[in-house]
Structure 1
Amino acid sequence: MSIDLPPLGFGAAQLGNLYRSTTEEEARGAVDAAWESGLRYFDTAPHYGLGLSEHRLGRALADRPRGEYLLSTKVGRLLREGPGDGDDLDHGFAVPDDRRRVWDVSADGVRRSLEESLVRLGLDRIDIAYLHDPEEGPEDRAITEALPALESLRAEGIIGRIGVGSKSVAVIERAIAAADLDVVMLSGRYTLLEQPAAATLLPLCADRDVEVVAVSVFNSGILARSEPPDDARYEYGQAPQALLARARRIAALASAYDVELPDLAIQHPLRHPAIRSVVLGMRTARQVRDNVARAQVTVPEELWSEIDALNASVDALSGTHP
């Protein structure tokens, strides 16, 4: 029986030591807290910590009833022997570089990727397989070879649903046109601060019955605190002053209603009918419990209306579309 995508999911990049080390106790505690909080969708990838995220997530889920949760991972990069004389921080993960990523979007590469993920996870099946960041690798081959391979694997019953994960609206639209996708993972393009996916992508998904999972809803950190600091991050760099000012204006509106900026960031994408789930990266049990609580905060419609008006006015001045 297929499980519906839940409104909130657990992102396991931090289990792969994203930016800094995560202890085994923290990793297991985070997954345990997620399960205890009712979360039943877990997302990972070979890219996250050169397989460490998949290993840890699989171990933490090993004693959970397999029919009660969704598990997604990604294809496009295979893990092969690395130099083993340094670390992987250039790619954002605090792990040894004893393995390296190799792009392989061929049909054989997609199949091998899933087989190797199953071994690392210790599971017998994957519910959702995403083509991961095709714009960062051989995009044309990814669209023309990897997506048909995923369609074939779905037809064989090896995976349940197929999709693509990307921060590029254009790439996701191209993928939807090229293949019969079930779901897409949209990174950062429909958030409290920016909604470029609203113009064409989300209507396309609704028309094609493609579910949308929103990730990077904190826009790399600028929306992660109740008051964005001067050194707030956006798109993995220093936030532009205009964007920082806008985030602070939204935070001030929220404060007047006893709501905080991260509460809004988590809940905002789900206001769009095409978006079925928000997946948040979580490192510790405390982060899990905090995020679950934020997802349940009641946000008055009056506040949403004020935020929509603010965003519309800024978009009108800048000549962009929400």
Structure 2
Amino acid sequence: MSLPELGRLGFGAAGIGNLFRAMDDDVAAATVGAAWDAGIRYFDTAPHYGLGLSERRLGAVLAGKPRGDFVISTKVGRILEPAANPQGARDTEGFDVPADTVRRWDPSEAGIRRSIEDSLERLGLDRIDIAYLHDPDVYDLEAGINQALPALEKLREEGLVGAIGVGANSADALRECVQAADLDLIMLAGRYTLLEQPAAADLLPLCAERGVGVANCGVYNSGLLARAEVRGDAHYNYAPAPAYILERARALASCCAEFGVELPTAALQFAAKNPVVRTVVVGAGTPEQIRQTAHRMAEPVPAELWEAMAARGLLAEDLVRG
């Protein structure tokens, strides 16, 4: 199918699902509203994000917008089921929400259909534009490929979803999925960034060959590239960054500074340079964060910066051409 226009910048809604810390409903709504005001029209969520909280909050804001004016994606693979929680336990998978629901992996056609139906109810919307299979490599990649992807293809044929794809942190897993199914899009997390580009070797050329678009996310590598100066306590892949990673990030930041560009601005814009990338998806915890991100994406970045990085061995020569 022909993918809808996603825009250069998309909004990732994990943060409004209370990722790592609680957020008030009003702040969540204001953050989504700020993304809209900044011109963002592609919004990505998932049942996994806050055990459905992200979908509910996002849907509540978008329900007041013209349905034809935005694109929304959510994910399948994890079914949410009620759980007894008499002790008031909190979620153990990174979201500051009550553990009143449990995630259950279900790649079957029935599970995929139920996931879509549940998401539509939480979102309060009439349709989902893009459905991604979420993290199949975390559970069972073979079952994801053999069960979930054919089910998604069937749902697309029936018109229940507009486009289908896979979202994962692993470039190798995504490559297997692109080879195995007729996908429209992949969501690539952290594997094509200013810091590292393992997806450039095989995955992105394969996507170009098969006409599969890429939604690039995780472009700050767990926050490592999110500040102009790289801090010693920065994280990489959700853990404290090792010394060699900090050294590389600081070399990138130093090169950026010589051209009057801040590291996060370069990280954002590099992530969009490859022609197969349809959008760069970034989350936010406050309205100001998403406004700043939109500003960074619009700032001019001189081509000489990429050339300098290539000359210093910080980027491969063939990656500096957009």
Q: TM-score, normalised by structure 1?
A: 0.95
Equivalents in 1 of 2:316, 2:148: separation in Å? 39
Q: Which residue of 2 aligns with 1:56?
A: 57
Q: Which residue of 1 aligns with 2:309?
A: 307
Match of 2:265 among 258, 263, 266: 263
- Any conservation in 1 of the 2:310–2:316 contact (CA below 8 Å)? no
- Any conservation in 2 of the 1:193–1:311 contact (CA below 8 Å)? no
Equivalents in 2 of 1:8, 1:173: separation in Å? 24
Equivalents in 2 of 1:75, 1:9: separation in Å? 19
Map 1:168-247; keep pairs closer than 5 Å: 168-247=170-249
Deviation at 1:2, TM superposition (A): 6.0
- Any conservation in 2 of the 1:87–1:94 contact (CA below 8 Å)? no
- Any conservation in 2 of the 1:82–1:99 contact (CA below 8 Å)? yes
The residue identity in structure 1 corresponding to 2:195 is L
Q: Which residue of 1 aligns with 2:320?
A: none
Pair 304,105 (structure 1): closer, same or farther in 2 beyond 3 Å: same
Deviations 1:209-249 (A, max 9, x none): 00001110000011011001010100011111111011111
> Could you say what secondary structure the match of 1:112 adopts?
helix
Equivalents in 1 of 2:58, 2:312: separation in Å? 40
Deviation at 1:310, TM superposition (A): 3.0
- In the alignment, is residue 22 of structure 1 matched against residue 23 of structure 2? yes
- In the alignment, is residue 153 of structure 1 matched against residue 155 of structure 2? yes
Deviations 1:126-176 (A, max 9, x none): 000000000111221111000000000000011100000011111111111
The residue identity in structure 2 corresponding to 1:61 is L
Deviation at 1:313, TM superposition (A): 7.4
Map 1:246-285; keep pairs closer than 5 Å: 246-285=248-287
> Could you say what secondary structure the match of 1:94 adopts?
coil
Map 1:40-51; keep pairs closer than 5 Å: 40-51=41-52
Unaligned runs of 5+ in 2: 318-322
Q: Which residue of 2 aligns with 1:320?
A: none
- Any conservation in 2 of the 1:12–1:44 contact (CA below 8 Å)? yes
Equivalents in 1 of 2:55, 2:155: separation in Å? 20
- Any conservation in 2 of the 1:15–1:56 contact (CA below 8 Å)? yes
Q: Which moved more, 1:202-211 or 1:297-306?
A: 297-306
Unaligned runs of 5+ in 1: 316-322
- Any conservation in 2 of the 1:250–1:307 contact (CA below 8 Å)? yes
- In the alignment, is residue 298 of structure 1 matched against residue 300 of structure 2? yes
Equivalents in 2 of 1:137, 1:7: separation in Å? 31
Equivalents in 1 of 2:267, 2:26: separation in Å? 28
Count the aligned residue pairs.
315
Deviation at 1:89, TM superposition (A): 4.3
Equivalents in 2 of 1:130, 1:194: separation in Å? 24
- Any conservation in 2 of the 1:103–1:137 contact (CA below 8 Å)? yes
Deviation at 1:312, TM superposition (A): 5.0
- In the alignment, is residue 8 of structure 1 matched against residue 9 of structure 2? yes
- Any conservation in 1 of the 2:3–2:184 contact (CA below 8 Å)? no
Q: Which moved more, 1:244-253 or 1:106-115?
A: 244-253
The residue identity in structure 2 corresponding to 1:77 is R
The residue identity in structure 1 corresponding to 2:101 is R
- Any conservation in 1 of the 2:252–2:314 contact (CA below 8 Å)? no
Equivalents in 2 of 1:154, 1:99: separation in Å? 28
Deviation at 1:283, TM superposition (A): 1.8
The residue identity in structure 2 corresponding to 1:271 is K
Q: TM-score, normalised by structure 2?
A: 0.95
Deviation at 1:308, TM superposition (A): 2.5
Deviations 1:60-114 (A, max 9, x none): 1111000011000000000001232344442000000000101100000000000
The residue identity in structure 2 corresponding to 1:169 is A
Equivalents in 2 of 1:140, 1:257: separation in Å? 46
Deviation at 1:314, TM superposition (A): 9.1
The two structures, once aligned, show a CA RMSD in angstroms of 1.5
Q: Which residue of 2 aligns with 1:69?
A: 70
Pair 237,245 (structure 1): closer, same or farther in 2 beyond 3 Å: same
> Could you say what secondary structure the match of 1:271 adopts?
coil
